[in-house]
Amino acid sequence: MELQITRITREIPFRGIAYLIFRQCGAQALGEQLDREVRTMADLGAREIYAASTDPAAPLAETETGPVRLTHVHDMLEMERALEAGRPRPQGRLAAEPLTGELGELWLSIYNEAFAAVPNAATYGPEELSEQLAKPGSCGLVLEDGAPVGIYELDLRTGEIEGIGLRQAARGRGLGRELLLLAMDLLAGQGYDRCWLQVSTANEAAYRLYSETGFSTRRVRSRWFRAEWNGQKDRDVEEDGK
């Protein structure tokens, strides 16, 4: 069996986090390979390492034995709902402004602020901005009384709400629901009769918002575990001099 692992290291410089996705491994090789991969991520500077398996033959489970301890932290869910005529509608508190090159740096700044603490979120940079600019209408700023307070990111090929987020200062005033309804309207305007999104069960506020707005879970996309190499504590002690 050919080993297939996705290693996501780009968040190590920004948030000290690394991700491992075992796509094809096999149950017999999983333990040894997990140990090797976790130690490699730690050597690269990751302070937190999260692992998931999409290989049905090699599922991950909580364990405190062996060189790596796994602790289940959250599930990534796919949720969906219909965009029927009688759905809840936004109250007009927010307006969408599509992304342009001139707005790029501001959009990046608000995106990274909005998703800084969201599980499995990625830090965006110039490369991701170029990708978004190449997909006109898929993302942009959201404005309240003309001032930018958040962002939206849509996949116009599949009807997915890829991301909606607010600046810290704009939270706590009911704008999250308004932004979600606005994103739904944008997709309905593109001809979609259903929309979907992904959410982590650890993001309790977002999960509750989506559930209360009529979204239902269609499948568990992945189960995520925090992977701690037992040698890491000894390393931390040596580095801290304690």
Report which listed range, 81-90, 113-122, 226-235, is most confident.
81-90
Cβ atoms of 51 and 79 within 8 Å: the answer is no
pLDDT digits (tens, 9 = 90+) for 42-53: 999 999 999 999
CATH of the domain at 147: 3.40.630.30
53 lies in the same domain as 102: no
Does residue 197 sit within a domain? no
70 lies in the same domain as 32: yes
Specify the residue for token string 């936004």: 90
68 lies in the same domain as 90: no
**Amino acid 241: pLDDT:** 47
Specify the residue for token string 């060189």: 67
Which range has the worst mean pLDDT, 29-33, 121-125, 171-175?
Answer: 29-33
187 lies in the same domain as 227: no
81: Cβ–Cβ under 8 A, 6 or more apart, which residues?
A: 87, 194, 195, 196, 213, 214, 215, 216
Task: Please compute the mean of the pLDDT values over residues 159-174 and round it to a whole number.
Answer: 96
**pTM for this one?**
0.87
Query: Residue 230: which pLDDT band, with cuts at 50, 70 and 90?
Result: confident
- Give burial (CB, 10 Å; 0-12/13-18/19+) of 205: exposed
108 lies in the same domain as 182: yes
**Amino acid 234: pLDDT:** 47
Does residue 147 sit within a domain? yes
- CA–CA distance, 131 with 180 (Å, rounded to integer): 23
169 lies in the same domain as 95: yes
User: Is the pLDDT at 237 greater than 50, yes or no?
Assistant: no
31 lies in the same domain as 68: yes
DSSP helix/strand/coil, 166 = strand
Does residue 59 sit within a domain? yes
The H or E element containing residue 177 is helix 175-189
- Domain count of the fold of the chain: 2
User: Is the pLDDT at 143 greater than 80, yes or no?
Assistant: yes
Task: Please compute the mean of the pLDDT values over residues 62-82 and round it to a whole number.
Answer: 91
Does residue 207 sit within a domain? no
Average pLDDT over the chain reads 92
Cβ atoms of 9 and 18 within 8 Å: the answer is yes
Q: Tell me the CA distances in angstroms from 182 to 35, 48, 60, one per residue in order.
A: 45, 35, 38
59 lies in the same domain as 134: no
42 lies in the same domain as 111: no
The sign of the torsion formed by the CA atoms of 29, 31, 36, 38 equals positive
Does residue 52 sit within a domain? yes
Determine the structural domain holding residue 113 and report its residue range: 84-192
